[in-house]
Structure 1
Amino acid sequence: MDRIKRLSYEVLAGHKSKFGEDFADNKKVLNQIAIVRSKGLKNEIAGYITNFLKKEMREEKAKQARIESSRTEEIQAEEIDVEITEPEASGEIIEIGVDTTVEETTETTEEKTE
């Protein structure tokens, strides 16, 4: 891990709530809580902290959006959900697939009589 990341994580470990998504504000907060003599190093640390916090916020928003969309899908699935019930027995017997044509039965009886 390079020096900028290490120093940024050390600062964030104790003072994360003081930092935000604005570089200028983060630079001012860094001046208040740490002594960084080099202007360039201070800018790099403040920039890294800013980018890190922005990335965390984007990831959190994406996570919330995924949670919200899954909740919406669950609600829609519940609305569409249909119960499958057995039809009531009415006492009727229905034969399916039985061929009962009159012509075939008369032909077969005529052939048998001859």
Structure 2
Amino acid sequence: MGKVRPERVKRIARELLSRFPDRFTADFKAKKELVKSLVKTSSPKLRNMIAGYVTHLVSTAQTTKVETEEATP
């Protein structure tokens, strides 16, 4: 079973990733600071949840990219 995240977290994370795809690195701490500068929220928990979901989306995209490259002869 996976983690349950509110739709708000998913929506914000997908929007940030679509607007700034090249600014997100593999480092979680860097993502957390980037989310802090891009999203004005007073809740550190919400910021961390967004950064964590962005991390999940980036790693999933990288895994999918590698799998398609390996499958293509």
Q: Shorter-chain-normalised TM-score: which range?
A: 0.7 to 0.9
Corresponding residue of 2:70: 65
Matched ranges for 1:16-95 at <5 A: 16-67=21-72, 70=73
Structure having greater relative contact order (Cα 8 Å, sep ≥ 6):
2
The structure having more radius of gyration, on CA atoms, is 1
Partner in structure 2 of residue 87 of structure 1 = none
Query: 10, 14, 19: which one pairs with 2:15?
Result: 10
Runs in 1 of length 4+ with deviation above 2 angstroms? none
Q: Distance in 2 between matches of 1:15 and 1:6?
A: 14
What is the TM-score when the length of structure 1 is the normalising length? 0.55
Distance 1:8 1:56 in 2: 14
TM-score normalized with structure 2 length: 0.83
- Structure 1 residue 65: deviation in Å? 0.6
Q: Gaps (5+ residues) in structure 1?
A: 71-114
Please give the root-mean-square deviation of Cα atoms over the aligned residues, in Å. Answer: 1.4
Q: Is the 8 A contact 1:21 1:51 kept in 2?
A: no
Q: Partner letter of residue 20 of structure 2?
A: H
How many corresponding residue pairs?
68
User: Matched residues in 2 for 1:13 and 1:2: separation?
Assistant: 16
User: What CA deviation, in whole Å up to 9, does each residue of 1:44-86 have, x standing for no partner?
Assistant: 000000011001001100111111xx3xxxxxxxxxxxxxxxx
